[in-house]
Structure 1
Amino acid sequence: MKADRIHNFNAGPAALPLPVLEEIQESFLNFAGSGMSITEVSHRSKWFDDVINDAVVRAKRILKLDDRYHVLFVQGGASMQFCMIPMNLLGAGDTADYVNTGTWSTKAIKEAEIQGKAIRVVASSEDRNFSYIPEGIAFNPNAVYAHITSNNTIKGTQWAQFPDTSGVPIVSDMSSDIFSRPLDVEKFGMIYAGAQKNMGPAGVCMVIIREDLLGRSPKDIPTMLRYSTFAEKNSMFNTPPCFSVYTVQLVLKWLEETIGGLDKMAALNRKKADLLYDYMDQSEFYRGTAEKNSRSLMNVTFRLPSEDLEKTFVAEALENGLGGLKGHRSVGGCRASIYNPTPLASVEALLDFMKTFERKNG
């Protein structure tokens, strides 16, 4: 860590790899010899063509996507996708299944219902305060898609294994764990992810959509809400968020060339999470909020014996260079978001602080 940088555990916008930030800093005033900043070059220029095309190529290579899949960059975040998905994919007489595992799933369901779409909530973990991932779900074999949220930032749960939908394409919000582990992409008709949690800054959402679902985009919805619009124009029907796309490209380059791909990234993520969970499991002072078989490798959520201690923990952590540990405002408690860019050294520093704080206050 550089002396003037803290250990960043924010849930989003979140930490970015230091080498990426340094590369941005170095080229910000004169990008690729253009004499301009990346924030100044035209999105119609060769300079930006190279950026967006490389980002697409790297995303497809890392996830092992074949030519049936299109990689799009859309504005509006994952929240815009909550309405775009049913708007594009569900026509008259069509239905879709949704699994409700917390706040973001709930919002996705609401946006489909606002449009009067025929959706069915086939499973929910609300009965235990969204502390687990449902199992043994009976999906409708005639559904156009089955929607899940792969990782739940607020409740700290994650699908360790993706569900068997009997061939129904999974549509997944992967905002907080995309590129964190290998995937069997054949299960997925669409993956979408706001960049600001695990692959870049706020301002862009990556949408990966398979050809058969892309073909469902109707012509009678607004142009900028059709997936076909983005696919036909390489995400440049209008001016894209160029800087955000550029940063995503650099993060994917870092993932490939510095980390070595998804297998190595997954092993590192497991190691980081195990350090915290193993310690909490033997502690009577810290209590994880997610059930053990549903724990997230990205967002470690936990409580202390009292809310007063939690406030003190967050404040003293920040004084010690550990930021972003306050839980989401809707649930309280504490949360350490340990996305791909969070280095092992940051998790080790947090663990040392947790041990010291327990000895003082336990």
Structure 2
Amino acid sequence: MTNRAYNFNAGPAALPLEVLQQAQEEFIDYAGAGMSIMEMSHRSSVFEGVNDGAQSLLRELYGIPSHYKILFLQGGASTQFAMIPMNLLTAGKTAAFVHTGSWADKAIKEAKLFGDTAIAATSEADRFNRIPQLSEIRVPDNAAYLHITSNETIEGTQYAAYPATGDVTLIGDLSSDILSRPVDVSQFGMIYAGAQKNLGPSGVTIVIVREDLVESSPKTLPTMLRYDTHVKNNSLYNTPPSFSVYLVGLMLKWVQAKGGVAAMEQLNRDKTKLIYDAIDQSGGFYRGFADLGSRSLMNITFRLGTEELEKQFVKESEQQGFVGLKGHRSVGGLRASTYNAVPLESCKALAEFMADFRKRNE
């Protein structure tokens, strides 16, 4: 296709053309079943194969140890903000957070509904333009867990390394950078991520959790909000978002075909370098928001001299086929989200547009 947009949306985000084309080919008749994946029973052997296959490939690509469970849940990562303290924040314990911006803040607010919380570190004084140094993190002695947001999509910051928490469980919201680079899963007790940025479409949330954390969820919780419900039923307790799970499986096969997670990281670094160079070499015309040591490989945030010029940038970019470059409504500015499926060619085109726009408006 020659009319594909340069898609820099922050989520739902770009999907590989190859994945979309395969889904299109299989849309009406999946695997010779005479029906779409969306029409068949989630109890059927065909769909169970799709569900199990996606789990197995994710385990292989991400190096997930055998004593971790993989769940495909609904409700988005935002539901996990509540499910985690409901299941894991026990009496006398505190939920600790590193406050890095907009999404960390949402997680903190939900946890406060269920128990005590503590801020182990924050970059609020710096307008969340950086990730706190690991040496700044102070975990309370009675912490049930330490929660981090690996990548803040709105501010455009990302952890370069994760904190070592010893006996305290580390929980990571990796919604916007899962599978974008290798991760030592064993460092975490739980990782969760909405699929709609790096793993597929909206509708399914991936939870990777150590078995001992969810063997026995509190019996007072509603059935659907207990992790052990989904563990015991292989994520098939109720009707799952079957088409979304199927597309996650296709995305994982695409990552595998591209060389795996390490190859994804190199591609992402090559892509973002093009755009960061356009910012850094602009003589101050473009100003990056995130501190250099905290720059995200997934969301590049930057400003121009005036809001009027930023509006002009967005308008002209849209006329050239670029989508999603307006910054989040809460902070303004500009943002390019360069998730796994965003092609290198799109980033080259954006860097060229940025250079041309600068020459015409300096």
**TM-score where L is the length of structure 2:** 0.97
Gap runs ≥5 in structure 1: none
Note if 1:302 corresponds to 2:302.
yes
- Which position in structure 2 is the counterpart of 1:68? 67
Post-superposition offset of 1:141:
4.9
Deviations 1:24-82 (A, max 9, x none): 01110111111111111111111111111011001111111122100001111000000
CA RMSD of aligned residues (A): 1.0
Post-superposition offset of 1:169:
2.1
Task: Confirm or deny: 8 A CA contact 1:173 1:192 kept in the other structure.
Answer: yes
Distance 2:170 2:182 in 1: 16
The amino acid that maps onto 1:340 is N
Distance 2:150 2:230 in 1: 24
Deviations 1:180-239 (A, max 9, x none): 001111210000001111111111110111012112511110000001011100101000
Deviations 1:108-148 (A, max 9, x none): 11111112x12211111111111000111122354221100
- Which position in structure 2 is the counterpart of 1:211? 211
Note if 1:315 corresponds to 2:315.
yes
Note if 1:271 corresponds to 2:234.
no
Secondary structure, counterpart of 2:209 in structure 1? strand
Task: Confirm or deny: 8 A CA contact 1:167 1:187 kept in the other structure.
Answer: no
- Which position in structure 1 is the counterpart of 2:123? 125
Secondary structure, counterpart of 1:325 in structure 2? coil
Post-superposition offset of 1:356:
0.6
Post-superposition offset of 1:167:
3.7
- Which position in structure 2 is the counterpart of 1:246? 246
Post-superposition offset of 1:95:
2.1
- Which position in structure 2 is the counterpart of 1:13? 12
Distance 2:308 2:40 in 1: 50
The amino acid that maps onto 2:98 is V
The amino acid that maps onto 2:71 is L
Distance 1:5 1:269 in 2: 20
The amino acid that maps onto 1:289 is F
Distance 2:287 2:168 in 1: 37
Distance 2:218 2:60 in 1: 29
Post-superposition offset of 1:320:
0.7
Map 1:128-139 onto structure 2 (within 5 A): 128-135=126-133, 136=135, 137-139=137-139
Distance 1:95 1:332 in 2: 34
The amino acid that maps onto 1:138 is R
Map 1:97-108 onto structure 2 (within 5 A): 97-108=96-107
Map 1:7-86 onto structure 2 (within 5 A): 7-86=6-85
Distance 2:80 2:358 in 1: 42
The amino acid that maps onto 2:22 is E
Distance 1:216 1:94 in 2: 17
- Over 3 Å off, 4+ runs: none
- Which position in structure 2 is the counterpart of 1:159? 159
Cα pair distance change 1:208/1:162, threshold 3 Å: same
The amino acid that maps onto 2:270 is K
Note if 1:93 corresponds to 2:92.
yes
Task: Confirm or deny: 8 A CA contact 2:90 2:144 kept in the other structure.
Answer: no
Identity of aligned residues (%): 56
Task: Confirm or deny: 8 A CA contact 2:8 2:323 kept in the other structure.
Answer: yes
Distance 1:197 1:185 in 2: 19
Cα pair distance change 1:150/1:216, threshold 3 Å: farther
Distance 2:52 2:335 in 1: 36
Q: How many residues align?
A: 359
- Which position in structure 1 is the counterpart of 2:281? 282
Farther-moved stretch of structure 1 (91-100 vs 149-158): 91-100
The amino acid that maps onto 1:180 is S
The amino acid that maps onto 1:312 is Q
The amino acid that maps onto 2:13 is A
